[in-house]
Amino acid sequence: MNDLNIAATASTPHIRTDFSNGVLHMSGDSYPENAFEFFQPTLDWVNAFLGETQHPLRLEFALLYLNTSSIRIMMDILDCAEEAFQDGRDVSLVWHYQPQNERVSELAEEFKEDCTFPFNITAAETI
């Protein structure tokens, strides 16, 4: 399985995966012109990781802004993680946000409501 290392742009987040350690990291703003096309490799990576291993999956997000289509993709990723957790997999998420960005912390809280796996939301001055 190939890892991803997609550089951030003004409208897309940095995405980095580590298959051997089971980590998906995303940080930055997310309002790509075509979110479904942009995030498809990430969704494919998550599905492949969950399908090919029994290792824990760790999601690490430091997303600052998400548009509506990015939110839908995040829901897809979290749905995959939730399904794996319900099937007995070790899955967790840490979402870092800047304290002055209440909108992102509220969004993370909304996502957390739909997840039963460990989901921590932490304030960080720098992301």
102 pLDDT band, cuts 50/70/90, is: confident
Map out the domains of the chain as residue ranges.
5-123
Is pLDDT at 126 greater than 70 in this prediction?
A: no
CATH architecture of the domain with residue range 5-123: 2-Layer Sandwich (3.30)
Residue 54 CA neighbour count, 13 Å, CB half: 2
For the stretch 1-33, what's the b/e string if a residue is b when 16 or more beta carbons lie within 10 angstroms of its beta carbon? eeebebeeeebbbebbbebeebbbbbbbbbebe
Predicted confidence (pLDDT) per residue in 33-85, tens digit: 999 999 999 999 999 999 999 999 999 999 999 999 999 999 999 999 999 99
Query: Can you tell me the mean pLDDT for 82-90?
Result: 97
